[in-house]
Every structure is written in C-alpha cells, then in structure tokens.
Amino acid sequence: MMAQQKPLTTAQRQPGGLSLVPIPLQLAALRPPTAPLEPEIDDELRELEAVSQNLEIHTLSANTRRAYVKAWRSFEAFCQVHDLDPLPAHPETVRWYVAWMSVQMDENGLPRFSVATVRQGLAGIADRHLREGLLDPTGHRGVSGLVRGLAKLRATRPVRKRPLLLDDVLRIVRSMDHDVYPAGVSAARDELAIWLGFAGALRRSEAAGLQLNSLELHRLDGVHVHVGASKADQDNTLPDIVVLPFGETPSTCAPCAVHRWVALMNAVDRRQTMTLLFAYQLDEHVCGKAGTGPGLISSADLMSDAPLLRATYRNRKSARIHEQGVTGDALHTMLLTRMAEAGMNPSAYGFHSLRAGHVTQARRNGASTEEIMRAGRWRKAETVNVYDREFNPAARNSVMRLGL
C-alpha cells in the first residue's frame, strides 16, 4: 500500500514539494477507473483483438520495449522496498524515485544513472500507466521540475565519438590481411562494413540490417543502398537511398568492396575462395567501373533477402561464412579491433566515428550542409553542424579572415 500521508491544504503548501489538495480533487483521479462489464464478443472479434494486440506491440521498437520493461522493474523494486504503490503511482512516489536514482553511485564514485537514464526510466513508468488507462504521474510539475534541476546540477558536455577521416579509414583497411587465407575472408567483410559506415554514413544498426537485395548496382553511380526502416525513420516513409560511389583508386572504391565480399559469399568451395582472395586485391578495380572490365558480380547475385554482412568463423586453416548476419554491437567491436591492429588508439572511437568522419571529411573538402544532410539522411541542419563545430572549428570561421 502507498505510504499514508496527511492531506495538505493550500495553506500548508511546502516549497519545492507537491501541492496536495484534499481528496477527492487530486488523488481520486489516480485511482483505476471502474472496470466496465466485458461485452460478449464473437470469434471474429476475438481474432481482431489478437491482431490489435500484435499491432500495439509494434508501436515501439524492440530496444525501447526492453528499456521500458527494465525501467518498470527497477521502479517496482524501489516501491516494494519502501512499501509504496507502483500502479497507480502517486507523483510524490515518482519524485522519491528520481531522488533515489540521483544519489546512486558506482564503484568509482560516479553517478550510476545519467540524466538520460533517469528520463528513460520515467518514460517507462509513464508508458505502463498510460497502457493501463491511468494518469501519467511523471507529467506532474513536481516531477518534471526535479529532473530539470538534476540536469542543471550535472550540466556537462556530451562525450561524442571522434571522427575517422579518410586517411584513418585507409590506414585501417590497408592494415588488414586481404591476400591471406583464411584471414582475408573476414577482412573483405570488415572492409565493406567500414565503407558502409564512412562513404554511406550508415549507423551500425543500419549496416547490420542490410540484405543482399538492399543493394543495387548502378552503371553511373556505383552502388545504391536502400536502407529501409531505420532508427530515424521507423515508419520507412522517408527517402532511404544511399550512394556508394566509384572510387578514383581501387583502395578507395566502396563498390569494389561490395563486389569482393559478395563474390566470396558465392564461392562454392575453399579453392574458389582462395582464388578470389589471391587474384583480386586493392590494386585493381573489380566493380565494373567504366574502362576497367566486368565486375565480379551481377545484379542477379543481389536478388536474395539473405543478410549482407554475415558472421564468419575461421581458424588457422579454414574459414566459413555463416547464414546469419552480424549485429551492430559486433560491428562496433570489429572496428575497435581493426584500429588496434593498425596501431591506433581506439578508446575515443566507435562505429559512429565513421558517420561523424563522413561529415567532417566532406566539410573539409567543401561540401555544403544540404549535401551532407542528403547523404546521411539528416533532417536537421543543426545535427550536421554539431560535428562541424566540434571537429572542424576553423571552417567558415571569421577568425581565419582576420589577416593574422
């Protein structure tokens, strides 16, 4: 049961606390509504109810649902310890929960819950109440004000991944064992993943979710990538085509990486795999670019809905390409590992560094905000400018025109 509190009158209002007025003006509204009698429904309506529940599941992404479940379990545990009602929760209960999260520390003496995590926890509480037909206790001014205070108290600059520029990408790619079996198999896949992140400005979840039929060979442009539904376009309604252009050299040609990897996936045995690894490396175009001969693959090789970036297994003597695709987390780990192998310190980097590097490199080469927004499918110019100000501060800066 909720801890008993003596109702406060308006004359007893406490600074910084809630203005609790006598029942039933406020607390009564928090009680569950009286459940109506369930109507008699036929078999068709029961089937429609099952369909509606399935549609309701898809209103939130899988990651968001998992986060909300975790948040609700944490809130329930807090309420159980302090003998409070989690559903429906009183706004004061939520305030106490926010205060509790704000003072939790990890083993290093740092805050255990960031402000973003606190807000996510409140979103989980709100979602549970609204789905039960109850008022959202997190929307109370006393709760939102507490979160704003916490945000100001912990006002720090966000830590962003540093960008990887073109020279960095080439250093990573060239350090891989492309002409060695079996290491060359995973090198071909990782090279393609890196170009998808840098040239295509794809997020790691987007790159991991690509299928073979997401790619389209284009005679003039190189390769068109249809990203489909993504983090920023969950309804899959916005333009989603990303271009991987032909590179001036084979070592900077993302379409060549596509051809090499897909050809390896189509290899029927170890001998053919080794032949491909030894015959086509980074010193010649294999993508069908004008004047370079036919490509290793054709459009027919991209008609499958199988994952594009697949998991690989290898030991000292052999390599095998699995049917299942890699995860976004695996791509993140892969990049850090490849950076370390190239003699680079990966501590300030992640797969998002490739997307940030796309912006920074394009800016340095004179690209406009509109061009970058089109390439990376950004909807706000301010998002692009964040990367620009952080990592290319001298560009379009009047200090460079002072004649110093």
Q: Is 203 among the domain residues?
A: yes
Q: Is 212 among the domain residues?
A: yes
Q: Is 126 among the domain residues?
A: yes
Q: Are 79 and 86 in contact (CB under 8 A)?
A: yes
pLDDT of residue 15: 45
pLDDT of residue 39: 62
Triad 150, 153, 155: Cα angle to 5°: 105
Q: Domains in the chain: how many in total?
A: 2
Query: Which residues, 6+ apart, have CB-to-CB distance to 38 below 8 Å?
Result: none
257/146 same-domain check: no
CATH of the domain at 327: 1.10.443.10
74/189 same-domain check: no
pTM tops 0.85: no
Give the three-class secondary structure for 193. helix
Domain boundary (156, 180, 209) is at 156
125/242 same-domain check: no
Running along the chain, 404 residues long, what does each successive block of 10 average in pLDDT? 43 45 41 58 77 75 85 93 91 92 86 89 91 88 89 77 92 91 90 95 92 92 83 58 90 93 88 83 83 86 92 81 90 95 94 92 86 84 74 72 78
147/292 same-domain check: no
Q: Is 188 among the domain residues?
A: yes
CATH of the domain at 81: 1.10.150.130
Triad 30, 33, 39: Cα angle to 5°: 160
Provide the sign of the torsion angle of the four alpha carbons 94, 95, 99, 100, taken in this order.
negative
Token pair in block for residue 48: 């429609």
pLDDT of residue 309: 94
- 378 in the Ramachandran plot: left (φ > 0), alpha (ψ -120 to 50) or beta? beta
Q: Which domain holds residue 84?
A: 59-156
316/249 same-domain check: yes
265/123 same-domain check: no
> Rounded to whole angstroms, how far apart are CA atoms 357 and 163?
4
Q: Is 21 among the domain residues?
A: no
Q: Is 53 among the domain residues?
A: no
pLDDT of residue 233: 52
C-alpha distances in angstroms, 223 versus 194, 246, 298, 301?
Answer: 15, 8, 12, 13
284/374 same-domain check: yes
279/375 same-domain check: yes
pLDDT of residue 36: 55
pLDDT of residue 11: 39
Query: Which residues, 6+ apart, have CB-to-CB distance to 340 below 8 Å?
Result: 346
Q: Tell whether omega for the bond before 250 is within 30 degrees of 0, i.e. cis.
A: no
